[in-house]
Amino acid sequence: MSPSTPAEQPRCPSRVAIVTGGSRGIGLGICKGLVEDSVAVAIVYQGNHQAARLAAAELQAMGGRVLTIQADLSRRAEAARAVEAVAREWARIDILVNNAGVFQFAFLEELDEAFLERMLHTNFGSMVWMIQCTLPWLKKAEHARVINASSISGRLADVGLIAYGSSKAGVDMLTRIASAELAPYGITVNAYAPGIIATEMTREMIESRGNEQVKQIPVGKFGTAEQAASVVRWLCSPGADYVTGEVIGVDGGMLKVQNPYRAHEFARRGG
């Protein structure tokens, strides 16, 4: 854990966010957006210490107040420890962004207990534990937010993604039910569902079959971490007070229509 609160700043910032998986990719993009909105950010990461250090340094260079915490959030005790560290440092939590997740292909015949448990516990279970553990603090906050990372794979069945797709479908249901359960406390709960975003997590897939995948995206290109992060940044803002229970696609229209490449072919022929 490495806090970076300048001595001249007050101990308790005006808003505090926990971003799981915040050291790379979309998570780091989310942290940058929150720092630009003067939100103090606690990055919870699983094991890549170098990535966490680099992320913290980059956010500090932007003037951000940053805390880094290593934890395995698939275990409730670890989630509780991470939340306690943030509360001890800043005495408040206003925003929880459940961004941490793992992505890996495995066919049904290849699944074993360790793979399935890792996928479900990391992508779904960690979100349950983090919401539970932050809830006492979120109940005290004004404009309290929970934002979960879903995926188009939670709604679009894809061969080889039984474990991953099922975990993300669970995230969608968690988001909807939690939005109702937490509404009496003024807490909104939403999710963002990325399509194919060009990050380290998706690099292998894009390299192996990207030429075919991009044909299924109406806008004709893969998304960026910054584009996905901008949706989360808005959901964290006071302007999103009346939005809850939503799973917002950030997919370039990928789930909206079949065979969009035909429109591109028609346009190239001059319409």
- Tens of pLDDT, residue by residue over 28-77, are 999 999 999 999 999 999 999 999 999 999 999 999 999 999 999 999 99
Per-residue burial over 80-112, b = 16 or more CB atoms within 10 Å of its CB, e = otherwise: bbbbebbbebbebbbbbbbbbbbbeebeeeeee
245-264: pLDDT as tens digits: 999 999 999 878 878 888 89
Dist. CA 7–CA 85, nearest whole Å: 19
Residue ranges per domain, the chain? 16-203+224-257
Question: How far is the C-alpha of 75 from the C-alpha of 57, rounded, in Å?
Answer: 28
Position 160 pLDDT exceeds 60: yes
The catalytically annotated residue of 164, 185, 192, 242 is 164
Q: Is the pLDDT of residue 112 over 70?
A: yes
The CA R_g of the chain, rounded to the nearest whole Å, is: 19
| Mean pLDDT, range 120-132, rounded to an integer | 98
E strands, the chain, in order = 16-20, 40-45, 66-70, 95-98, 145-149, 188-194, 247-250
User: pLDDT by residue (tens digit) across 188-238?
Assistant: 999 999 999 988 878 888 888 888 889 889 999 999 999 999 999 999 999
The answer to whether the beta carbons of residues 102 and 151 sit under 8 Å apart is no
Percent of the chain with pLDDT over 90: 81
How sure is the predictor about 100, in pLDDT bands with cuts at 50, 70 and 90? Answer: very high
pLDDT band (50, 70, 90) for residue 11 = low
Judge residue 62's burial from the number of C-beta atoms within 10 Å of its C-beta, 0-12 exposed, 13-18 middle, 19 or more buried.
exposed
* Predicted local distance difference test score (pLDDT) of residue 183: 98
The most distant pair of C-alpha atoms in the chain lies apart, rounded to whole Å, by 63
The pLDDT score that the predictor gives to residue 23 is 97
45 carries an active-site annotation: no
pLDDT of residue 204: 84
The CA distance from 226 to 234, in Å, is 12
Banded model confidence at residue 10, pLDDT cuts 50, 70, 90: low
May I ask the CATH architecture of the domain 16-203+224-257? 3-Layer(aba) Sandwich (3.40)
pTM value is 0.90
Q: What whole-number distance in Å separates Cα of residue 225 and Cα of residue 237?
A: 19
- Does residue 4 register a pLDDT over 50? no
Mean pLDDT (whole number) for 94-106? 95
For residues 106 and 41, give the distance between their C-alpha atoms in angstroms, rounded to a whole number. 34
